[in-house]
Amino acid sequence: MTPPTAPDTVAGGAPGQEPSPLLELLEGFMGELRAAGLPVSLTENLDAMEAVRHIPLEDRDAFKYALAATLVKNNAHWRAFETVFEVYFSLRGKEFALRSDDTAEGPDPDDDDTAGALSDGAGGAGGAGEGLTPEELQAMLFQALSHGDDPLIRALARQAVKRFAGMEPGRPVGGTYYLYRTLRNLDLDDTLEKLMDQARDDSPQPLTPLEERLERDEYESRIDRLKKEVEAEIRRRLVADRGPEAMARTLRKPLPEDVDFMHASREELTSLRKAIYPLTRKLAVRLARKRRHGRKGPLDFRNTVRHSLSYGGVPAEPKFRYPRPSKPEIFVVADISGSVASFARFTLHLVYAIAGQFSKVRSFVFIDGIDEVTRFFEGVDDIGEAVHRVNTEADVVWVDGHSDYGHAFEVFWNKWGREISPKTTVIILGDARNNYHASQAWVLKEIEKKARHVYWLNPEPASYWDTGDSIVGEYGVHCDGVFECRNLRQLERFVEHLA
């Protein structure tokens, strides 16, 4: 690892000047972590300062883990931390400047290990004067990937960025644009296929499917490494151009727990899905715990007497009978109409996850008609398939496919109302935008009378409630609670509330 000692990287800080450049840099770093939403307390701040005193600063990994161990107390925040860390403590210096005249002097220190591998000084002036043609670069890249030669991959990533990204100082475009341009030119999908072809040719016998799969995994992981290097290189150059503060700001993304369900990107939804499982496990544990420790039962006389024997007949340790735990039953009723489409997809995952944790969960989905979909989630291992079946097989459209809560509730009550018992907890998921249909709020009133609890989770911001055709207020009076539930943090708070 090249030693990017943090103090040296602070441009312009005169040596020996107080306060020390490292402290200043750390302060900016922690400020950025807070701005990114990480809850960094004062104690943790001080711990981090103390920790870096014990770590050899030239050991970049140790430095990174020292900061992580003291500042990040939740693994979901690791990515946010890593981004800020890379921006603040990445290799910095003149050689990353975007204008070519700055880079003309001296070879890059980072390329020392590979200088021999590249036909001419890799750190030479960007743009003109490169010894490699694009074809040669492709060929070398192929070789590097084929052998898994990490230093060479790193050097080639830098070359590729220099050549293909077309970075210009001060140009107000994000790193993803440069990343896209570089990767498009490298055509990695094609490279992967060529690598696979070569592997097939090299093998004496035809590859078995298993071997093929393992080869592909290996090459894919090497290509991933290359992509990461390209990304890092672009980031380094952008930091050199714009400074860490500005860079960190542009890279700032909401933490997983703050991502809005309604507007989550595909990638965000994937990570949200993974976060749901622990959450439902928590829910299950909490409900179970509550049942077990909820209240003490009557005195168990026999047991108390039996135990008093060891204290010479003094009933020093009273024993109680615990009530038999009742098994809760959950009814989930979810709106899956277009207006809440991405929430709905998330909802179905939530329903699936809940169903996996509780013995008795029945799920219903509706748009303007309503259907029970419990069977789709039973014994299904692939949630994608279950969601697909819900979307294609469930009978949820009654007239025109615009949500009609009133009608849906009415049908729900007529068909399944009598199965609601005092053990049942009903959870309704939806935005209560009723397209000006009749609300039929009396159904909820009846449900509330029969069920143990009725909760409503609304994916809209509370300030939008009861505006336009939203009538959540009308339903809300018959619920034990209406919760804004736009992100994991709020969902988690709801889970806490339940317990």
Partner 1 sequence: MDYRFESPAAVRSSLKEVDYLSDEGIAGVVFLADRLGKPVLVEGPAGTGKTQLAKSVAEVLGARLIRLQCYEGLDESKALYEWNYKKQLLRIQAERNNESTWEDIEDDIFGEDFLLTRPLLEAIRATDPVVLLIDEVDRVEVETEALLLEILSDYQVSIPELGTVEATQIPMVFLTSNNTRELSEALKRRCLFLHIDYPDMEREKEIVLTKIPDITEQLADQVARIVRSIRQLELKKSPSVSETLDWARTLLLLGVDSVSEAEATETINILLKYQSDIAKASKELAGDTSGARKPGVPRT
* Interacting residues with partner 1 (CB under 8 A): 39, 41, 43-44, 47, 50-51, 54-56, 59, 61-62, 65-66, 68-70, 72-75, 78, 208-210, 212-214, 217-218, 220-221, 224, 266-267, 270, 278, 281-282, 285-286, 289, 292-293, 310-312, 314, 316, 381-382, 384, 492
CB 273 within 8 A of CB 382: no
Residue with Cβ nearer partner 1 (131 or 294): 294
Cβ partners under 8 Å of residue 184, min gap 6: 164
CB 233 within 8 A of CB 158: yes
How would DSSP label each residue in 103-131?
H-SS--GGGGGGTTTSSS-TTS-SSTT-S
Residue with Cβ nearer partner 1 (101 or 381): 381
Residue with Cβ nearer partner 1 (282 or 319): 282
Cβ partners under 8 Å of residue 92, min gap 6: 4, 9, 11, 236, 239, 240
Residue with Cβ nearer partner 1 (200 or 292): 292
Residue with Cβ nearer partner 1 (426 or 488): 488
Minimum distance from residue 251 beta carbon to partner 1 (Å): 16
Q: Cα separation of 33 and 27, whole Å?
A: 10
Minimum distance from residue 75 beta carbon to partner 1 (Å): 4
Minimum distance from residue 477 beta carbon to partner 1 (Å): 32
Q: Cα separation of 24 and 189, whole Å?
A: 44
| The two three-digit tokens of residue 234, written as one number | 């672009």
Minimum distance from residue 216 beta carbon to partner 1 (Å): 9
Q: At what angle do helices 383-393 and 341-357 cross, to 10 degrees?
A: 120
3-state secondary structure of 379: coil
Phi first, then psi, for residue 234 (nearest 5°) are -60, -40
Minimum distance from residue 498 beta carbon to partner 1 (Å): 13
CB 136 within 8 A of CB 279: no
Minimum distance from residue 231 beta carbon to partner 1 (Å): 11
Minimum distance from residue 481 beta carbon to partner 1 (Å): 20
Residue with Cβ nearer partner 1 (307 or 450): 307
Residue with Cβ nearer partner 1 (59 or 446): 59
Provide, for the chain, the percentages of residues in helix, strand and coil under a 3-state DSSP scheme, each rounded to the nearest 5.
60, 5, 35
Minimum distance from residue 103 beta carbon to partner 1 (Å): 31
CB 458 within 8 A of CB 484: yes
Residue 441 exposure: Cα atoms within 13 Å on the Cβ side: 12
Residue with Cβ nearer partner 1 (157 or 444): 157
Minimum distance from residue 158 beta carbon to partner 1 (Å): 21
Query: Cβ–Cβ contacts within 10 Å for residue 419, how many?
Result: 11
- Does the CA dihedral 304-305-311-313 come out positive or negative? positive
Minimum distance from residue 289 beta carbon to partner 1 (Å): 6
Residue with Cβ nearer partner 1 (73 or 360): 73
Residue with Cβ nearer partner 1 (60 or 407): 60
Q: How far is CA 363 from the centre of its chain?
A: 26
Rounded to 5°, the CA angle 269-483-371 comes to 70
Q: Cα separation of 56 and 51, whole Å?
A: 10
